[in-house]
């Protein structure tokens, strides 16, 4: 069991925990929505996805964003997951990121979708 993200206390009054699959999903979410440089002791952590709504919408931006997310996840979580595909969909100030990946330890294929409105 791993500590749940975001950190909170469960119904028993203890630190909430989750299984490995859910923990890896939490880690992916942290990478996606953390800006590089935001973590003082780990300045390369993150991919800066929250800047996406402030950029002009185009096919090139979508492809660049998918490449950026793929690179960040592969670099930061490459020992835990094998990223299969990234799909970024943006509508005005809202966007959705779908990540298809395989958990290296178990070989289980996973699909996770993350949505944000800025």
Q: Where are the alpha helices (DSSP H) in the chain?
A: 20-32, 59-77
103 vs 61, higher pLDDT: 103
**DSSP label of 14:** S
- Inter-residue contact 20 to 57 (CB < 8 Å): no
Taking the model in full, what pTM does it have?
0.87
Beta carbons within 8 Å of 104's beta carbon, 6+ residues apart? 79, 80, 81, 82
Mean pLDDT of all residues belonging to the chain: 90
Q: What is the pLDDT of residues 47-96, one digit of tens each?
A: 988 877 677 777 888 888 899 999 999 999 999 999 999 999 888 778 89
Q: Please tell us whether the domain made up of 2-117 is placed in CATH 3.10.450.40.
A: yes
């Amino acid at each position: 069991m791993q500590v749940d993200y975001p950190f909170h206390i469960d119904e028993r009054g203890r630190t909430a925990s989750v299984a490995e699959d859910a923990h890896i999903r939490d880690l992916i979410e942290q990478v996606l929505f953390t800006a590089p440089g935001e973590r003082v002791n780990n300045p390369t952590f993150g991919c800066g996805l929250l800047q996406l709504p402030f950029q002009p919408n185009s096919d090139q931006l979508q492809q660049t964003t998918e490449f950026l997310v793929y690179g960040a996840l592969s670099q930061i979580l490459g020992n835990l997951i094998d990223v299969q595909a990234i799909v970024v969909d943006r509508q005005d100030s809202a966007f959705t990121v779908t990540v298809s990946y395989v958990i290296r330890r178990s070989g289980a294929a996973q699909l996770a979708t993350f949505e944000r409105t800025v």
